[in-house]
Amino acid sequence: MMQIKGLAGAAGCVAGHAAVFRPSELCLERRAVSDSQAEIDAMEAARARYNETLRRLAGEARAAQGEEGAGIFEAYQVIAEDDYLFDQVKELIRAESVCASWAIEQKRAETEAMFLGVDDPYLQARAADINNVCKEITGELQGVDTGDPFAGLRGEDLIVFAEDLTPADTVRMDRARLKGMVTEKGGVTSHTVILAKALGIPAIVGVGPILDQVVSGQEVLVDGRLGNVVVCPDEEAKAAFRIREEEDGRRRLLFDACKASPARTKDGISVRVNINSGDTESINTFDAGACDGIGLFRTEFLYMGQNGYPSEDFQFNAYRSMAEKNQGRELIIRTLDIGGDKQLDYMDLPQESNPFLGYRAIRLCLDREEVFLTQLRAILRASAFGEVKIMFPMIVNLEELLRAKELLAKAMEELDRRGEAYHKNIPVGIMVETPAAVLLSDVLARHVDFFSIGSNDLIQYTTASDRMNEKVQYLYDSCNLSVLRSIKLVCDNARAQGVDVGICGETASEPRLIPLWCAMGVNELSVAPALVGRTKYIINQISEADMAQEMEAILSQGSIPSAREQLDKILQELGL
């Protein structure tokens, strides 16, 4: 028996069999070629074969799982067919008479560097998608199999063990057989964890080097809540696991039962539980009946995979279709949050030494008015088809907010001239995700209908610790009292002005913090789709009045471990 401890990524208990996954090695060395054109032809042939495979896989996935399954293959097709990237590769092959594998790798690495430090999960996924497509075309070129990691393995209950997993790896795994994930690398916000949460399976990450000690087919027990893995368990370990498994199964049933009903604390305070959305897959799988609405619709994906800015009509169609799918529930559309570290070639953005503090989000939109006005008109037009609200990211002063609202008025005038329908009193809000916005929240609240706290960024800016830098993850802490006090201040200032306040960062669904959010008077939490039930269940268990007293004690101290201990104790008392 071998016990492995890792980071608790996605909760859940599962017993199954190990599937050790080692991706095939590609040769990426620089090799001189005498016939550049022959090299380009070989690459184009590999690209065409790869595209054909993607088309076939998309068709098969659509037949088996509907649009959800097909989405990722189609997204890959868009990248594989993107001439912009591959024209650059061809230029490099010609200019330096080098092999295609090396040239692809150079352009892939450049693209990845552009996305480095991306603070947005689906944009990261986008960069990872480009990496995967490049890797797979190179594999095709070299005749290396990058296919199904489960090929040759038997069993319907596979727990994949990998150094790390890409979406491409996971998409090739037979999802019906994939029951859990264990990775050597990665943190609790890694792609593996995001995907596992979406699939509703447990994931344990950051376990360190173990692949040489595990053999495919071995019996495995995974407890995602505790971050424990047992390989070749003895009878005692199996018995203990069965108890945890039963508890877990009971919990799941309780959570699922809460999804479709409104969440209300024991003393009758309602909290809306919305979902975060903004990639093709989450849109295709969106189930309006299993949440109260969409609390954060990230629009960046519409700008990715394009050769130029998306048109007003293209955006309008996407927003409208989401508004219609949402069936009268709120849909908070965030205006473009790109720039700085999240660059797109056609935007021609400057290189920055400190991109998180640079030219991004509302700063870029206020500077490129036409880009912003196009998006505003598209959102406004969609507001005629549902409960659309509009939200500006990264606000740091009142002037930015007022200017954004001026441009919104200008977009309305343009639509009036065209005779287009839209909601004239569309609710306008901002993301509170900078310490500046926190400290100005009393002033800002007078000019908005709602706040949504972007805790992902707020934690990084408040604690001055990069949310993507593993070295400082120990400081990037949602329980830092400075963060909790900031959120409390925003809630107090919002309430004083009668402004609705939500949280849309990952902490919105952190179990130990949900009671605290209720005590602070948060009206809305926006979470990953798979976490709606659990979030609602916790809200239903607590009394806001009781929590308000506990909150005073928690916020008045300075020690993070003791605050966490107190919060965990409250959860335990609720049986969680």
Residues forming contacts to Mg ion in the complex (CB under 5 A) are 433, 454, 457
Q: How far apart are CA 324 and CA 179, in angstroms?
A: 34
Stretch that binds ligand PEP, among 11-19, 102-110, 345-353, 451-459 (CB under 6 A): 451-459
Candidate list 140, 248, 457, 524; residue touching ligand PEP; CB under 6 A: 457
- Check the CA dihedral 9-470-352-463 and report its sign: positive
Secondary structure, 3-state, 207-241: CCCCHHHCCCCCEEEEECCCCEEEECCCHHHHHHH
Helix (H, G, I), strand (E, B) or coil at 162: strand
From the candidates 191, 291, 365, 518, which is the catalytic residue?
191
Instruction: Report 247-306 residues binding ligand PEP (CB under 6 A).
Output: 296, 298
Q: CA geometry: angle at 413 spanning 409 and 415, to 5°? A: 115
- Taking residues 497 to 536 in sequence order and writing x for each that binds ligand PEP by CB under 6 A, - otherwise, the string is -------xx-------------------------------
Stretch that binds ligand PEP, among 108-116, 152-160, 227-235, 454-462 (CB under 6 A): 454-462
Residue 361: CB minimum distance to Mg ion, A: 8
Residues in the chain: 576
Evaluated on CA atoms 369, 372, 376, 382, the torsion sign reads positive
Minimal distance, residue 433 CB to ligand PEP, in Å: 5
Tokens encoding 31: 């090799």
Q: CB 457 → ligand PEP: shortest distance, Å?
A: 3
∠ CA 378-379-381, rounded to 5°: 65
Which helix (H) or strand (E) is 294 found in, with range? strand 293-298
Q: Is 433 one of the binding residues for ligand PEP (CB under 6 A)? A: yes
**Cα–Cα distances in angstroms (integers) from residue 308 to residues 84, 305, 371, 426, in the given order:** 11, 9, 11, 28
| Contact of residue 120 among ligand PEP, Mg ion, none (CB under 5-8 Å per partner type) | ligand PEP
504 interacts with, out of ligand PEP, Mg ion, none, CB within 5 to 8 A per kind: ligand PEP
Mark the segment that binds ligand PEP (CB under 6 A) among 69-77, 401-409, 449-457, 532-540.
Answer: 449-457
CA angle 270, 273, 275 (to 5 degrees): 165
Question: Choosing among Mg ion, ligand PEP, none, which partner's interface includes residue 296 (Cβ < 5 to 8 Å by kind)?
Answer: ligand PEP
Task: Give every CB contact of residue 425 below 8 A, 6+ residues apart in sequence.
Answer: none
Q: Please, what is the minimum distance in Å from the beta carbon of residue 394 to Mg ion? A: 7
Give the residue at shortest CB distance from Mg ion.
457
Collapsed DSSP state (helix, strand, coil) of residue 83:
helix
Closest CA to 395 of 342, 349, 334: 334
Give least dist CB 454 to Mg ion, A: 4
**Shortest Å, Cβ 356 to Mg ion:** 10
Contact 114, 131 (CB under 8 A): no
Is 341 a residue that touches ligand PEP (CB under 6 A)? no
User: Of 13, 291, 504, 518, which residue is the catalytic one?
Assistant: 504
Binding residue for ligand PEP (CB under 6 A) from 434, 455, 480, 486? 455
Q: Determine the Cα–Cα distance for residues 164 and 517; give it in Å rounded to an integer.
A: 34
Residue for token pair 């500046």: 436
Q: Which of 120, 136, 510, 544 lies at the binding interface for ligand PEP (CB under 6 A)? A: 120
Active site residue 191: yes
Q: Which is nearer to Mg ion, 433 or 524 (CB)?
A: 433
Q: Which residues bind ligand PEP (CB under 6 A)?
A: 119-120, 296, 298, 337, 433, 454-457, 504-505
Active site (catalytic) residues: 191, 504
